[in-house]
């Protein structure tokens, strides 16, 4: 069974999306193995649904409070019964491949539920000054990380952590 992995670019001041909620621009320092499925929130779905996002060719499980009229549209399955169900379904769809998370909300929900296996941050030397922070609203659960790799590149420094416990 694959791992549940978050791989996101983040500004030095901790933002993963700008103030206008656009996703932070990706960097290209090192290629990643593509996941076998994605779990994402509704904002990520809106960004990815036209086929330009990272989930265009694999099953995507969209976290939502209510079913979407486009249910069954392309690779997207809307999940209304929580993060645990979405991750379970994504793991089944991915088989032995990893499950990727798209969007800060999905990452935070997985962290709170203890479902995240690996956290990959591409730390970009830029200060956005506002937007959506990755680690806001995690609740009171302490999350311990073990640094497994640091990769310095011209556009970003990649930090990789295994989530402990």
Please write the tens of the pLDDT for every residue from 117-141.
999 999 999 999 998 888 887 777 7
Angle (CA) 1 82 60, round 5°: 55
How many residues in total does the chain contain? Answer: 165
Residue 46 DSSP class: H
Interatomic CA distance for residues 63 and 58, integer angstroms: 16
Q: What are phi and psi of 125, to 5 degrees?
A: -75, 70
pLDDT score of 53 more than 90: no
Please write the tens of the pLDDT for every residue from 19-28.
665 555 554 4
Interatomic CA distance for residues 28 and 24, integer angstroms: 13
Global pTM reads 0.85
Q: Are 87 and 110 in contact (CB under 8 A)?
A: yes
Please write the tens of the pLDDT for every residue from 71-86.
556 688 899 999 999 9
């Amino acid at each position: 069974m694959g791992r549940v992995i978050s791989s996101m670019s983040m500004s030095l001041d901790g933002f993963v999306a700008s103030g206008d909620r656009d996703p932070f621009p990706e960097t290209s320092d090192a290629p990643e193995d593509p996941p076998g499925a994605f779990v994402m929130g509704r904002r990520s779905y809106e960004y990815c649904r036209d086929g330009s996002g990272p989930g265009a060719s694999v099953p995507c499980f969209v976290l939502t409070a209510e079913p979407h009229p486009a249910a069954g549209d392309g690779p997207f399955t809307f999940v209304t019964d929580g993060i645990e169900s979405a991750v379970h379904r994504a793991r089944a769809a991915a088989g032995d491949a990893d499950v990727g998370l798209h969007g800060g909300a999905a990452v935070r929900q997985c962290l709170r539920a203890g479902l995240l296996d690996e956290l990959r941050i591409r730390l970009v030397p830029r200060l956005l000054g506002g937007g959506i922070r990755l680690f806001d609203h995690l609740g009171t659960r302490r999350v311990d990380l073990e640094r497994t790799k640091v990769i310095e590149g011209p556009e970003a420094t990649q930090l990789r952590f295994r989530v402990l416990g």
